[in-house]
Chains A and B, each alone.
Chain A
């Protein structure tokens, strides 16, 4: 199913607490798991009962081998959303049109429910350092990123969904908090949000801001998806490693976010020291306890 192109009509800036669904009518897919190579045999062989899968776009854009074959089979049986790491929406380099063409084709091939990436940049001067680098939160950066989000959404013919990053650096040039930048970007560029509550927790520790204030400030009706994951505490800072179970504080933050948004598609990421599929899926399904406690939550599928 292709998402309907979002209207350019300027929306209300008042968050709709406990709203059932987002402004585009993108479905609540339930509780999903990130599709990872080590789980391919289990998923194809056992066909586990999973609500949906999130697919790392770049792993499938330049291959016609087994990964794409597996993805085709997964997309036949499960709803899929694409999640990228190389869009580099905040970069001052030109947008990579070849990348966008391939991304659009993959979205059509998999009938992706939506396409997401990160509020970040990954390189300049033609290079890609393959990291999700933080933006300075300035008026200049907001104008720049807004124009690019609009260009990408137009090209993809669907609203781009952007994830809040985890970060370890805060620039002195920054003039507004990340949540304000993200909220204004979402409104000005008319894009969706992927709220990674673990990233909020990680960045809140690293930069010393209030994680709950962050979650409360985002426009709830633009949140299309949640991410959950584990992290690694290094004492001086927290690294977003996706290597463990989510911390209790992250679950509490997720519960708080759910109370604002209603039930929203939720995805568990586990990317380092990946355990067997059932362990990852069990961790993901813990989200059900928070979702079902939401009064009036949408469950359309």
Chain B
């Protein structure tokens, strides 16, 4: 029997077993081959029980690892999981956690890089759609955990003199994300969330826009027109209300908002609590 490993090497060996991408049976041997315990057999490191071999015992941890990662990511990406199916999603998770293993104390952060991984995963069918869907679901998760900032009250809005609005800057609440998509992923996510027996919208190419925000500790998604997205993007980047409106009036004619339309947009956003401050 080989001499006992020091604690640090024993832990590195066991972690290598747990995260080995192959099956549980091959994991202990593959981890040994990584060099933490050269010449040792699994039974040199782990005792068998009355009912399980040493390799079977350590395999329990290996099998639970991927399931735990899958469960955590499925919580944040339910629509993507639905689109890919159980097997497809598990394959995605297997590759993802190899590329982006958790380095954070919370599993809530495991999915931080999933959208960029999806964008690069050449094995995925409908990759561009999956990427947009992952971006939407990531935004929902980030907004869920973002800092709480009180939205502007009606009094604060009413207190701004009419002539000052053109030069005013509106500051979005902290729990705010503005998104442009090439596919109708919002409608798809809605269809997944709805009851069983739902029909999914076509996955065809179609530009869509949305703002995701939190109000009263609930996360909301509001679909936007091209003009609405354009104005909100300008405001969120620090442009004045006057600059944002002027910019919106320069977009292509069929998407250009009317004055009344712009007024309705602003009124709706104020009511939704999208802004936390006015800088005059």
Residues of A within 8 A of B (CB): 58-59, 61-66, 69, 86, 91-92, 96, 99, 121, 123-131, 133, 136, 138, 140-141, 144, 168-174, 206-208, 235-237, 239
CA distance A64 to B214 in the complex (A): 11
The smallest beta-carbon distance between B212 and chain A, in angstroms, is 13
Which of A61, A123, A237 makes the CB contact (< 8 A) with B15?
A: A123
CA distance A58 to B60 in the complex (A): 24
Task: Report yes or no: B10 in contact with A58, Cβ–Cβ below 8 A.
Answer: no
Among B101, B109, B218, max chain A CB count under 10 A is at B101
Told that A129-B18, A236-B51 touch, could you supply 9 new A-B pairs with CB distance under 8 A?
A59-B108, A65-B148, A65-B175, A127-B15, A129-B19, A140-B6, A172-B44, A206-B49, A237-B49
Residues of B within 8 A of A (CB): 1, 4-8, 10-12, 14-15, 18-19, 43-47, 49-52, 56-58, 60-61, 64-65, 68-69, 72, 101-109, 144-148, 175, 214, 217-219
Q: Which residues of chain A are within 8 angstroms of B148 by Cβ–Cβ distance?
A: 64-65, 69
Which of B57, B60, B68 makes the CB contact (< 8 A) with A130?
A: B68
The smallest beta-carbon distance between A102 and chain B, in angstroms, is 8
CA distance A62 to B102 in the complex (A): 15
Which of A59, A144, A235 makes the CB contact (< 8 A) with B7?
A: A144
The smallest beta-carbon distance between A64 and chain B, in angstroms, is 4
Task: Report yes or no: A237 in contact with B12, Cβ–Cβ below 8 A.
Answer: no
Task: Report yes or no: B107 in contact with A168, Cβ–Cβ below 8 A.
Answer: no
Which of A63, A168, A173 makes the CB contact (< 8 A) with B5?
A: A173
- Which of chain A's residues has its CB closest to B101's CB? A127
The smallest beta-carbon distance between A254 and chain B, in angstroms, is 25
Which of A65, A86, A236 makes the CB contact (< 8 A) with B214?
A: A65
Task: Report yes or no: B10 in contact with A173, Cβ–Cβ below 8 A.
Answer: yes
Q: A127-B19, A129-B15, A171-B47 are in contact. Are A63 and B144 (CB under 8 A)?
A: yes
Which of B45, B51, B104, B105 makes the CB contact (< 8 A) with A172?
A: B45
The smallest beta-carbon distance between B49 and chain A, in angstroms, is 6
Q: Which residues of chain B are within 8 angstroms of A131 by Cβ–Cβ distance?
A: 18, 61, 64-65, 68
- Which of chain B's residues has its CB closest to A102's CB? B105
CA distance A62 to B46 in the complex (A): 36
- Which of chain A's residues has its CB closest to B105's CB? A86
Q: Which residues of chain B are within 8 angstroms of A63 by Cβ–Cβ distance?
A: 108, 144-145
Task: Report yes or no: A127 in contact with B102, Cβ–Cβ below 8 A.
Answer: yes
CA distance A138 to B219 in the complex (A): 49
CA distance A91 to B11 in the complex (A): 8
Task: Report yes or no: B47 in contact with A172, Cβ–Cβ below 8 A.
Answer: yes
Among B10, B44, B64, B101, max chain A CB count under 10 A is at B10
Q: Which residues of chain A are within 8 angstroms of B11 by Cβ–Cβ distance?
A: 91-92, 121, 124, 133
The 3 closest A-B pairs by CB, nearest first: A173-B4, A86-B105, A66-B217
Task: Report yes or no: B49 in contact with A64, Cβ–Cβ below 8 A.
Answer: no
Q: Which residues of chain B are within 8 angstroms of A61 by Cβ–Cβ distance?
A: 105-106
Q: Which residues of chain A are within 8 angstroms of B15 by Cβ–Cβ distance?
A: 123-125, 127, 129, 133
- Which of chain B's residues has its CB closest to A140's CB? B7
Task: Report yes or no: B52 in contact with A237, Cβ–Cβ below 8 A.
Answer: yes
Q: Which residues of chain B are within 8 angstroms of A124 by Cβ–Cβ distance?
A: 8, 11-12, 15
Which of B7, B46, B104 makes the CB contact (< 8 A) with A128?
A: B104
- Which of chain A's residues has its CB closest to B218's CB? A66
Task: Report yes or no: A64 in contact with B4, Cβ–Cβ below 8 A.
Answer: no
CA distance A126 to B5 in the complex (A): 20
Task: Report yes or no: A125 in contact with B146, Cβ–Cβ below 8 A.
Answer: no
CA distance A174 to B4 in the complex (A): 9
- Which of chain B's residues has its CB closest to A208's CB? B50
Q: Which residues of chain A are within 8 angstroms of B105 by Cβ–Cβ distance?
A: 58, 61-62, 86, 96, 99, 128
Among B6, B68, B106, B109, max chain A CB count under 10 A is at B106
CA distance A208 to B65 in the complex (A): 25
Task: Report yes or no: A171 in contact with B45, Cβ–Cβ below 8 A.
Answer: yes
Q: Which residues of chain A are within 8 angstroms of B109 by Cβ–Cβ distance?
A: 62
